[in-house]
A and B are shown apart, each in its own frame.
Chain A
Amino acid sequence: MAAITKVWRTALVALGLVALAGAAAAQQSTPPGAELYELCAQCHGERGEGNQVVLAPAIAGLQEWYVVAQVRNFKGGLRGTHPADVAGLRMHPMALALETDEELKAVSAYVASLPPVYPEPTVEGGDAERGAQLYGTCVACHGPDGAGNEALGSPRLYQANDWYLLSSLQRYKNGVRASNPANANAQVMLGIAGTLADEQAMKDVVAYIMSLRK
C-alpha cells in the first residue's frame, strides 16, 4: 500500500515538473512556422493549394515579403474589414490569431518556402489574346512575366487561382478590397482595376496571366 502511494506521488511530481518545463519552453520560443501553419492549412490546405469552397486562395510559394505584408494588413485592419468582403473577413481574425510579429514572420517564411502548386484554372470565358493587350497596363509593376516587384509592393500573379485574381480585381474596382484609405498599395490597384471596363476585360487579363505560367 505505502509503496503504491509513493509511486503515485513521484509520478505526480514528475508530471508537474514536465508541465512546468513545457510551459516555460512555450513562453520562450516562437513555435516553428510549420507548426503555426497548421491553423492556415484548415483553409489554405496542407500544401498551400487553396480551397475555393472557403474562398481561400493558393498561397504556397508566394514571395515572403508579400505574405508578411498581407498578413500584417489583415492583422492591422488594412485589408479584410469591409462589411461586404466575405473572404477578407474570414482571413482577418486568422491574422489576429498570430500573437507576435515573430510568429507572423515565421509562418510567412514557411508559406513562402512551400513549393508553388499552380492550381488549375477554373474561370471560363476569358480570352488570353485580348488579355495580352490589357496586360500592357500591368507590366510596369507586375513585370512582363508577371513576376512582381518588391520595391513597388506588387506580387507575383500567376501562382494564384484565377478565380481569386478575378474576385480581387472586382473587389479592388468596387472598393471592397481597398476600403481603407491608409492601405496605399490597395489604393493603387483601386485606380488600376477601374481601367478594366467590365468583367469580360477582367476575365481576359486573368486568362493572360494564367498563360504566363511556365
Chain B
Amino acid sequence: MLERIPSVIDVLVPQASTYAGDIDGLFTIILVSVGIWFFASEIVFFWLIFRFRKKDGVRAQYVSGEKQSEKKWVTYPHLAILLFDVLIVVAAVRVWYDIKQDLPPAERTVRVIGQQWAWTFVHPGPDGEIDTADDIAKVNELHVEVDRLHHYKLESKDVLHNFSVPVFRLKQDAIPGRVITGWFTPTKTGEWDVQCAEICGVGHGLMGARIHIETAEQHAAWMAQESPLQLAANAAQKQEEE
C-alpha cells in the first residue's frame, strides 16, 4: 500500500527491491505530516507576532499560560501531533514486520560475511544450495537474480558491521558470533553499491562492494563461468593442452 505513495528519494537512488517503495513511503508520510505541522506552527507563530506587535497606547501584558483559553494553544496541537504519531507508528510497524520479522520462504540463499574491511559473498553454485562444493565465494562482488526471493545469512568475522544496500533500502547490522537471516527480492537489473553502515575501524569508509542484479540467463552464465568445479575443469584442460 505504502509503495504507491510517490517518493522523492527514488529520483536520487532508484528502488530495486520489493520493499524499497514501502520504506520510501514511510519517509514521505513522515515528511508530509511533519511538514504540515511545521508550516502550521510557523504561520500561527508569525501571525501572533504580527497581531500583537507594538502599538501606541497598549501596554505589554504578561501571559502566565494558566488559563484554559491560553493553554489550549498548546494542548490541541499536542493532541493532534500525537494522533499523527500514531499514524506514523502504525505504518512503520507494518513495514518493519514485513521486512524484518516476517521471513517468506527462500528461492536462493547467499552468505554475507563482513570483516575488516571487505565483504565476502558466498553464492550457491549451479546446485542452488550453499555450503556445498560448488559454492562461489567472491570478495566485494554479490551476484543475484532479479525477481527471486533471496535469504541472506549475515555474519561478521571480527567487529560490528552493517550490510547496507541503498537501492534495496536494506540495512542490517552484522554481529560477531551471530548468524542473522533476512530477505530481499531484487526487482531491477543493474549494478549498484553495497556499503558498510556501521563504523568498524579505519577502513570503514572504504568497505564498499557492488551488487550485480542479473536476469536468469545472465546469472546462469555467470554461475557456469565461476563455479569452482568449472574452474577446476578449465585448469585441467589447460594443463592437458600444455
Which residues does A use to contact B, with CB under 8 Å? 39, 42-43, 81-83, 86, 89-90, 92-94, 96-97
Contacts and interface: CB of A to CB of B under 8 A. Distances in A.
Contact of B202 (A39, A82, A83, A86): A39
B206 A86 contact: no
A89 B137 contact: no
B115 interface: yes
Given A89-B115, A89-B118, A94 B137 contact: no
Contacts of B138: 83
B157 A90 contact: no
Interface of B: 113, 115-118, 120, 137-140, 157, 202-203, 206-207
Nearest to A179: B139
Contacts of A97: 206
B56 to A, nearest CB: 27
B206 A96 contact: yes
Contacts, number: 34
Contact of A93 (B113, B120, B137, B206): B206
B242 to A, nearest CB: 14
A82 B138 CA distance: 8
A89 B139 contact: yes
A94 B115 CA distance: 14
A39 B116 CA distance: 16
A93 B117 contact: yes
Contact of B116 (A81, A82, A83, A89): A89
A43 B115 CA distance: 16
A81 B140 CA distance: 9
A206 B207 CA distance: 34
B139 A93 contact: no
A86 B157 contact: yes
Given A89-B116, A90-B117, A82 B139 contact: yes
A89 B117 contact: yes
Given A93-B203, A93-B207, A97-B206, A86 B115 contact: yes
A86 B117 CA distance: 9
26 contacts: A42-B202, A81-B139, A81-B140, A82-B139, A83-B113, A83-B137, A83-B138, A83-B139, A86-B115, A86-B157, A89-B115, A89-B116, A89-B117, A89-B118, A89-B139, A90-B116, A90-B203, A92-B117, A92-B118, A93-B117, A93-B118, A93-B203, A93-B207, A94-B202, A94-B203, A96-B206
Contact of A83 (B117, B120, B206, B207): B120
Contacts of A89: 115-118, 139
Nearest to B235: A181
Contacts of A83: 113, 120, 137-139
A81 to B, nearest CB: 5
Nearest to B158: A86
B40 to A, nearest CB: 36
Nearest to A89: B118
A104 to B, nearest CB: 15
A91 to B, nearest CB: 9
A140 to B, nearest CB: 24
Contacts of B115: 86, 89
Given A86-B115, A92-B118, 18 more contacts: A42-B202, A81-B118, A81-B139, A81-B140, A82-B139, A83-B113, A83-B120, A83-B137, A83-B138, A83-B139, A89-B116, A89-B139, A90-B116, A90-B117, A90-B203, A93-B207, A94-B206, A97-B206
A122 to B, nearest CB: 22
Contacts of B120: 83
A119 B73 CA distance: 73
A94 B117 CA distance: 9
A90 B116 CA distance: 6
A94 B116 CA distance: 11
Task: Select the residue from B116, B139, B206 with max chain A CB neighbours within 10 A.
Answer: B139
B130 to A, nearest CB: 14
B133 to A, nearest CB: 16
Contacts of B202: 39, 42-43, 94
Contacts of A43: 202
Nearest to B121: A83
A15 to B, nearest CB: 28
A39 B202 CA distance: 8
